[in-house]
Amino acid sequence: MAFLRRFPRSPFWFGGFTLPDGRRVQRSTKQTDRKKAQAVVDRWDEAARLAAQKRLGEAQARRVLSEIYGKLHDEPLPTKTARQFLLEWAEGRKVDTSPRTAAAYAQVARDFVESLGARADHDISMLTKQDVATYRETVRRRTSIPTANKSLKYLRIALKRAWADGLAQDNPAAKLDTLKVAGERVRKQAFTLPQLRLLFRHAEGEWRGLVLLGAYTGQRLKDLACLTWQNVVLAERQLKFKTRKTGRQMIIPLVPMVVDYLATLPSADDPASPVFPCAHKLGSAEGSETRLSQQFHGIMVAAGLAEARGKETTGLGHSRRRTVNPLSFHSLRHTTTSLLKSAGVAEAVARDLIGHESPAISAAYTHMPEDTKRAALEKLPDITR
């Protein structure tokens, strides 16, 4: 029989009840109101009785907890299954993230639900560190360590939301460390100067301009593909735009080779017109990086800098380990940085030009004079000759 009592030095009511093994115990209800305290101890006593009869399953335990919560807060205990929460969370992220990021969140949510099996239909508060570790290992075996780490990162974001919403006591994904790459990851290389000249020679149409800008600004492919004429100030020989990845406002001096190239392009009456119409059309679409990267890979193949990719169907889709080429358009960022440093340009100037953030230099507090940046860029060799 459950009972209540008060101790002289405590403001809370203590409840007494019998454990499944027959022992009588007293626990603080953490309640100062007698009616609420009685509701708590009655539910404890019921749970102990069901456990003694070996009838306390997950459903009964959740019901007891829900009744206690409802008695104390006058509202039902918030609850969702792992499947329900994760799929709803992924759907909701379509509003505040890019289509590409939202698609990645949705893929991780679906894969984790599949990894959970029947546990996906248990309450999300029942998820454990082992559930997450099993999923991460599945991704690692199927793809690579970097992909497994990225999937873990996305899962941390999702389960942090569950914790913030009061649906879980903690974030089990936050308890796992990322895996060390241990030499598996292919490090991006910089193009050598002969390779760079070879690349420019085989680039045709808009890609000649994209390669030039990539080599002499060190900017990302999508940022360059989406440039409009309002970003180009030929009178001042400058490029002004905001990076899509970090939102950093960039002002980059243009070297004579780039200015000469841009001057040959058809002028547009509308400042919002794209500098590279075909690339802009691809760059504005979902999954554009993949299509643009495929075109650039074709240029590298023509220049003898990469091997052609086979088109045979494996039946494995994209959920398989891929062969990664150490050279890509992103390598031009490494190339520009390497050439600047080889020309004796200070690291702080190179960082500011490329847009790399670090504790040593931050765009919010440090602004590099334009003359310094222009002088640095003009030290770079001419790849058009």
Concatenate the DSSP letters of all residues of 179-221 into one string. PP-TT-SPPPPPPPHHHHHHHHHH--THHHHHHHHHHHH---H
pLDDT above 60: residue 288: no
Q: Please write the tens of the pLDDT for every residue from 130-160.
A: 999 999 999 999 988 889 999 999 999 999 9
pLDDT above 70: residue 358: no
pTM, two decimals, is 0.57
pLDDT-based confidence at 363, cuts 50/70/90? very low
- Compute the average pLDDT of residues 66-81: 64
CB under 8 Å, gap of 24 or more: what pairs does 23-31 form? 29/4, 31/72
Predicted local distance difference test score (pLDDT) of residue 362: 37
pLDDT-based confidence at 316, cuts 50/70/90? very low
CATH homologous superfamily of domain 82-175? Tyrosine recombinase, N-terminal domain (1.10.150.130)
pLDDT-based confidence at 261, cuts 50/70/90? very high
pLDDT above 80: residue 106: yes
Which helix (H) or strand (E) segment holds residue 26: the answer is strand 24-28
Q: Please write the tens of the pLDDT for every residue from 202-238.
A: 999 999 999 999 999 999 999 999 999 999 998 899 9
Predicted local distance difference test score (pLDDT) of residue 365: 34
More confident residue, 101 or 325: 101
CATH code linked to domain 193-306+326-377: 1.10.443.10
Helix (H, G, I), strand (E, B) or coil at 363: coil
Predicted local distance difference test score (pLDDT) of residue 311: 56
Predicted local distance difference test score (pLDDT) of residue 68: 62
Predicted local distance difference test score (pLDDT) of residue 66: 61
Q: Are 366 and 221 in contact (CB under 8 A)?
A: no
Buried/exposed code over 316-327 (b: 16+ C-beta within 10 A; e: otherwise):
eeeeeeeeebeb
pLDDT above 90: residue 315: no
Predicted local distance difference test score (pLDDT) of residue 379: 86
Q: Please write the tens of the pLDDT for every residue from 331-351.
A: 998 888 888 888 888 877 777
* DSSP category for residue 156: H
pLDDT above 50: residue 318: no
Domain ranges of the chain: 3-73, 82-175, 193-306+326-377
Q: What are phi and psi of 15, to 5 degrees?
A: -110, 140
Predicted local distance difference test score (pLDDT) of residue 364: 36
Predicted local distance difference test score (pLDDT) of residue 245: 80
Report the percentage of the chain scoring pLDDT > 70. Answer: 84
Predicted local distance difference test score (pLDDT) of residue 297: 93
Task: From 251, 283, 260, 246, select the one nearest 358 (Cα to Cα).
Answer: 246
With 0-12 CB in 10 A as exposed, 13-18 as middle and 19+ as buried, what is 117? exposed
pLDDT above 60: residue 192: yes
The dihedral through the CA atoms of 359, 362, 364, 366 has a sign that is positive
pLDDT-based confidence at 254, cuts 50/70/90? very high
